[in-house]
Structure 1
Amino acid sequence: MTTKQYSAYIRKSTEEQSDEHQRADLRDWFKNNGIDISEVEFYAEQASGASEERDEFTSLIENVEDGNVKNIVIWEVSRIARKGFLAQRFFDACEDAGVTIHVTNGSVRRIEPDGTGRLVADIIASVAAEERRNLIRRTKSGQKRAREAGKWVGNPPTGFTVTDGYLQPNLNPDYDNGETGYFDVTEALDSVESGQSYNEAADQTPNITRQTLSKIDKDENRRAWYIDGTAEDERVQDALEQASP
């Protein structure tokens, strides 16, 4: 690989997020510094900042370690990682290879190979990691409170919907929107019990796959939701009582 004077790393956490604000800041930075953007190697991806399994991030570090990068431009330090050891791995690789990190947004704007700016960058990375830990704690606490209140957390099971946080059987499914009705699943399981294959039963049931039907049928507790109208989970049992004749 030809050595690039400038490389840029862009990361967004989810598919729904946009990275255009990062790209715009980077374009402005390159323009203001008289750098032709066509000469810049971009590494962009959608991934969690806590994940080690980031192809572009890994590729960038490998190119740094191979001496193929001279300068890296990022939008802010948190784009690199939201786990301390990942940020340190990146900073150490750049320091060892003599790479300067430029930051377009944040308290530190340059992290030099001689360590200038590294202390502040380390603090920012630590704060980002702590923010992530706090978010996880708040999320888990909120989920626990929701479960204790009888509310459903996460996607509803096949044949159910969630209204105002509470699970209920889907008795009026919107097939055009990809929904499956509660009694659709019941009928599909009855068909399997009568000798139909999972493929045949799934083909006759709106918006359900063979794999999903098979998984429900082979899970004794979950199968009982649809066949017997009973569940060990109180939230599901409360919902099933709405479907009882």
Structure 2
Amino acid sequence: MRNTENVAAYVRASTDKQGSQHQRDDITYWCGQNDINTSSIDWYVDLAQSGSDPGRDQFRELTDAVAAGEYDRVVVWEISRLARLGSIYQEFFETAADNQTIVNITNGWTDTVRPDGTGKLIADISAAVAEEERRKLISRVNSGIKRARREGKWLGEVPVGFERNSEGYLRPLIDADPDEDSYLEIRNALEAIEDDESYRQAAMGLNTTRQTLSRIHQDEDRRQWYLDATAEDKRVEEALAEVQH
């Protein structure tokens, strides 16, 4: 490999919480092992971006640069970083092939896809297997969510003044830790607001912010959870049965 090559690297993470440093580290290590000057790599990074989105800013910019013949080589951590959909993935590789750009995958069944098609079949199989595994994972997750909802379990963020028990059901938080607010504390704060106390005053001494109190108070359904111990949501209604007697 030539040190004079123009090299780009692409990194993508699906969420803000999903780290990308391991991708950078793996790409940098691979390039170092293959005599590529790591200090001259142009990095293209999309964070909190789905691989099924063809409009990712950095991905489109990289694709346009490859189409313009700016790069001899593009390095990615694995194929799924480029795309989760076969059509997007194929378009990128066609652009690379048309412009004599080599694509390297540092964590895959093959590490090199050349413009003449060498390595492409293995890469295609790898991408197809990964896409099928993802479909199965999504199906299992969706089935689990549906089952949990049927059973009345609470999914997502737990409302203030509540807790999720070991079985996944929502329950009023009675004995709160110092960094939490109990159901009764939130109820008292909302009662004070009903008596014309300001959100700021009602939030004093609580971990819950005045903005959160304001959102609860202005949401008729949620306000009733605390002031009347009633709810239209069957899961919340069941939880509130503990404080209705």
Q: Give TM-score scaled by structure 2 length.
A: 0.83
2:113 is matched with 111
1:168 corresponds in structure 2 to 171
Classify the secondary structure of the residue corresponding to 1:180: coil
Shift of 1:192: 2.2
Q: Which amino acid aligns with 1:132?
A: R
Per-residue CA shift, 1:176-216, capped at 9, x if unaligned? 3xx33212221222122212343443x32623234432322
Give matches, 1:119-158, under 5 Å. 119-158=121-160
Q: What is residue 40 of structure 2 aligned with on the other side?
A: 39
Are 1:184 and 1:205, in contact at CA under 8 Å, matched by a contact in 2?
A: no
Q: Are residue 83 (structure 1) and residue 120 (structure 2) matched?
A: no
Long gaps (5+) in structure 2: none
- Structure 1 CA distance for aligned equivalents of residues 40 and 154 of structure 2: 51
Letter paired with 2:72: K
1:56 and 2:58 are equivalent in the alignment: yes
User: What is the letter of the counterpart of residue 218 of structure 2?
Assistant: K
Structure 2: distance between partners of 1:116 and 1:86: 20
Question: Match for residue 7 of structure 2?
Answer: 6
Query: Residue 241 of structure 1: SS of its match in structure 2?
Result: helix
Q: 1:83 to 1:210 in 2, by over 3 A?
A: farther
Distance 1:57 1:23 in 2: 16
- Amino acid paired to 1:46: L
Amino acid aligned to 1:83: L
Instruction: State the secondary structure of the residue aligned to 1:242.
Output: helix
Letter in 2 for 1:121: A
Instruction: Write the letter of the residue equivalent to 2:162.
Output: F
Show the counterpart of 2:242: 242
Kindly state the Cα deviation for residue 171 of structure 1 after the two structures are TM-superposed: 1.7
Cross-structure match for 1:204: 204
Report the equivalent of 2:233.
Answer: 233
Q: Which moved more, 1:12-21 or 1:211-220?
A: 12-21
Change (3 A) 1:62 1:171: farther
Taking the aligned partners of 2:95 and 2:108, their CA distance within structure 1 comes to 21
C-alpha displacement at 1:100, in angstroms?
Answer: 1.2
SS in 1 for 2:27: helix
Tell me if structure 2 keeps the 8 A contact 1:73–1:101: yes
Q: What is the percent sequence identity of the aligned residues?
A: 45
1:168 aligned partner, one-letter code: R
**Matched length:** 240
Distance 1:190 1:123, change over 3 A: same
Q: Distance in 2 between matches of 1:196 and 1:58?
A: 52
**Distance of aligned partners of 1:192 and 1:92 in 2 relative to their CA distance in 1, 3 Å threshold:** farther
Cα deviation for residue 27 of structure 1 reads 3.0
Specify the SS of the correspondent of 2:242: coil
The answer (yes or no) to whether the contact 1:64–1:97 under 8 Å persists in 2 is yes
3-state SS of 2:110 partner: coil
1 CA distance for matches of 2:183 and 2:92? 50
Residue 27 of structure 1 corresponds to 28
